[in-house]
């Protein structure tokens, strides 16, 4: 039996959609936005909030704050189809990459005091792990090399990373991108599984 005290997000979404205007639904929308942000799951939030936004404003692109976007997100050409051209997916991809970067760089002191798994620093994660997941899941093209991948990540993260830092050969082992599953170390398999989980809101089938 479900815990009656835990109101599901889907219920709040449906309640918001029963209201007459977007302005009336804004308070419920903000509640949902805050919930996803507090759980570092903005990518999933884009999908849920878009359900409300499209109900009231089907022709407009709306950000997580409820404001109409002035400029579209532009991604590198190595990003495949809908993930590059569809603004909902493009913004989700931005959010996921930023979340991966955050987890890789959580200060050690904060990590030691973490009470949730997503607030533990991920020292073993590398950008080649991310590149492998993105290729295998059809988010970036199969023939993407580390230079193009690095440029894409650097564009998304902007001032958070130094120029050319992602694609350096001595930064990480990019050979893992093309290795067979059979020769992967158990640690690498676990890392890939964890990173894949962050991309699920973007790649799972949509109703």
Structural domain that includes position 97:
72-207
Contact 124, 167 (CB under 8 A): no
Residue 95: closest CA among 185, 204, 201: 201
- Does residue 91 share a domain with residue 8? no
> Quick one: how far is CA 118 from the chain centroid?
13
In this prediction the pTM is 0.73
Residue 55 half-sphere exposure toward CB, CA atoms < 13 A: 21
Copy the structure tokens of residue 129. Answer: 């792990």
Domains in the chain: how many in total?
A: 2
**Residues in contact with 4: Cβ distance below 8 Å, sequence separation at least 6, in sequence order:** none
Q: Which of the listed residues 36, 70, 104 is the one where a domain comes to its end?
A: 70
- Does residue 93 share a domain with residue 64? no
Q: Which position has the higher pLDDT, 121 or 44?
A: 121
Copy the structure tokens of residue 140. Answer: 């970036």
pLDDT tens digits for range 7-38: 788 888 889 888 887 778 888 888 888 888 77
């Amino acid at each position: 039996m479900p815990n009656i005290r835990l109101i599901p997000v889907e219920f709040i979404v449906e309640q918001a959609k029963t209201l007459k205007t977007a302005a009336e639904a804004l308070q419920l929308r903000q509640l949902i936005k805050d919930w996803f942000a507090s759980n570092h799951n903005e990518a999933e939030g884009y999908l849920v909030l878009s359900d409300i936004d499209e109900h009231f404003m089907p022709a407009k692109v709306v950000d997580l704050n409820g404001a109409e976007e002035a400029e579209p997100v532009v991604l590198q050409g190595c990003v495949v189809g809908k993930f590059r051209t569809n603004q909902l997916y493009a913004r989700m991809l931005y959010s996921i990459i930023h979340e991966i970067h955050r987890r890789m760089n959580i200060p050690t002191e904060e990590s030691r005091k973490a009470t949730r798994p997503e607030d533990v620093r991920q020292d073993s994660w590398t950008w080649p792990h991310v590149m492998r997941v993105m290729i295998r899941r059809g988010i970036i093209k199969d023939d993407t090399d580390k230079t193009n991948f690095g440029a894409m990540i650097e564009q998304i993260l902007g001032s958070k990373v130094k120029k050319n830092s992602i694609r350096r050969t001595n930064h990480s082992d990019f050979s893992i991108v093309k290795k067979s599953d059979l020769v992967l170390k158990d640690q690498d398999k676990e890392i890939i599984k964890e990173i894949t989980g962050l991309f699920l809101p973007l790649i799972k089938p949509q109703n």
